[in-house]
Amino acid sequence: MRVLFGLLVATALGAGALSAQSLRPEGGVINEALRPSAEISGAVIAGLQMHEKPAEAVGFSAYWPGSLGKDQEFCVRVVSANGLYDAESEYSFVEDETADAKGDDETADVMVEVFYPTKHEPFLKDLKDREVAASISLGPCATRSHSLIVASWAATPDDTVTLLVNSFRADTVLARLENSEQTVRCQPIEVEVRSAYDTECSLDLGSRTGPVGLEIFRFVNRQPAPVTEIKLLLPGG
C-alpha cells in the first residue's frame, strides 16, 4: 500500500520532477547567520524532513499538501546540529505562470521546491545526514506554529519522516503518531556536536494522508516532562 502510494505521488510528479511552483522567501533573501560559536536554540522541534541530506546539497523541497491555500504564509527554518548556522525566513507560495500548467487542479499534491538563496553555500554543502535540520511551519515565524509541512532533501516522497528534536538532554524521548498503536523510541543523533538538537525520531507514515497529530514524550530523571504536540500536514486526505 505504501509503495503504491509512493508510486502514485511519484507519477503525479512526473517521476520526481519538480513542478513550476515554489516557495520563495519574502523580499528574495533569507535571514541567516553563521557564527563562530553555537547559538542556543529554545525550540523543541528542530526539523521535520524526509531522506538524509546528501553532502553537496543545499536546497530542499516541501512535501506539499495541495489543500493548503496558495496565499498562506510559511516559516522556513534551517539549523545545523552544531548550532553554528541557523536561518529563519518567511516564505510564500509562488506559481510560475509561464510554465506549463501541470496542475490545473489546485488541490493536486506536489513536491514544491523551496528556493534557498544562501550566502553560506560551502558551509551547508559540508553538512550531511542529520547534521542539518529543515522545518516548514504554517504562519509567520513569530507565531512558532506547530503545524508543519514535511521538508524533503531528495525531491521525492518517502514512507518515513524524521523528526529532529531538541530534547533538552532528556534521558528518553518517545514519539507517537495520532491513532497509532506503536510508540517510537527516539535515538540520540550520531554527530560530533549536539547543540541545536540532539535526538531523532523515525516515523513510518504508512498510508496516512492529510493532517496527522504527533505527540512527543520526554523523560528526565525517569519522570515525564510535558508532552509536545504538533500537526503534520501531509498531502491528500
Partner 1 sequence: MARVGNPFVGIRRLAKSPIVQFAVFLLLVTTIVGMVFVQRSFLVEAETSYAELTFVGENVWNFPAATVCNPKEPDVTAGRTGDEICNPVLFEPPEEAWGEVTVNWSCGARVAVQSDVDGDLVVTVLGLATQAERPEGCDVSDADPPEADARGPFGEDGEFAPADAHGIVRDSIIVVRDRDWRATGALPFQAAATVGEDIGPGAVHFLQSGRWEARQTSPVHDYVPFAHAVTEMVKKGELSLGAEVQVWDYRKGRPATMWGHITPTPDDFDNSLAGFDLVMLSSPGKTELRLAHFGFREPATIRPDWVDTAVNSPLFLAMFALLSLIAVILQIMKDTGELRRKTKTGAPPE
Q: Under the criterion CB under 8 A, does residue 171 sit at the interface with partner 1?
A: yes
Q: Is 172 in the site for partner 1 (CB under 8 A)?
A: yes
Is 12 within 8 Å of 103 (Cβ atoms)?
no
Least distance to partner 1, CB of residue 60, Å: 23
Q: How far apart are CA 154 and CA 51, in angstroms?
A: 6
Neighbours of 101 (CB within 10 A): 11
- Should residue 162 be labelled a site residue for partner 1 when binding is judged by CB under 8 A? no
The sign of the dihedral angle between the CA atoms of 141, 50, 35, 121 is negative
**Amino acid at position 223, single letter:** Q
Nearer to partner 1, 202 or 207 (CB): 202
Cβ at position 116, least distance to partner 1 in Å: 22
Question: Which three three-digit cell numbers place residue 129?
Answer: 545526514
Q: How far is the CB of 126 from partner 1 (least distance, A)?
A: 11
Q: Residue from 79, 170, 189, 230 that binds partner 1 (CB under 8 A)? A: 170
Query: If you write DSSP's letter for every residue of 52-108 in order, what string do you get?
Result: PBPTT---EEEEE-TTS-TT-EEEEEEEETTSSEEEEEEEEEEE-TTS----SSTT-
What distances in angstroms separate CA 115 from CA 23, 82, 191, one per listed residue? 6, 24, 27
Distance between CA atoms of 209 and 215, rounded to whole angstroms?
17
| Cβ–Cβ < 8 Å for 190, 179 | no
User: Of the candidates 14, 183, 204, 237, which one interacts with partner 1 according to CB under 8 A?
Assistant: 183
Figure out which of the listed residues 82, 145, 147, 209 binds partner 1, where binding follows CB under 8 A: 82
**Does 192 participate in binding partner 1 (rule CB under 8 A)?**
yes
Examine residue 194 and tell whether it contacts partner 1 (CB under 8 A): yes
Residue 130 touches partner 1, criterion: CB under 8 A: no
Answer yes or no whether residue 51 interacts with partner 1 by CB under 8 A: no
Q: How far is the CB of 7 from partner 1 (least distance, A)?
A: 26
Interface ranges with partner 1 (CB under 8 A): 37-38, 40-42, 82-84, 166-172, 174, 176, 182-185, 187, 192-195, 198, 202, 215, 217, 219-224
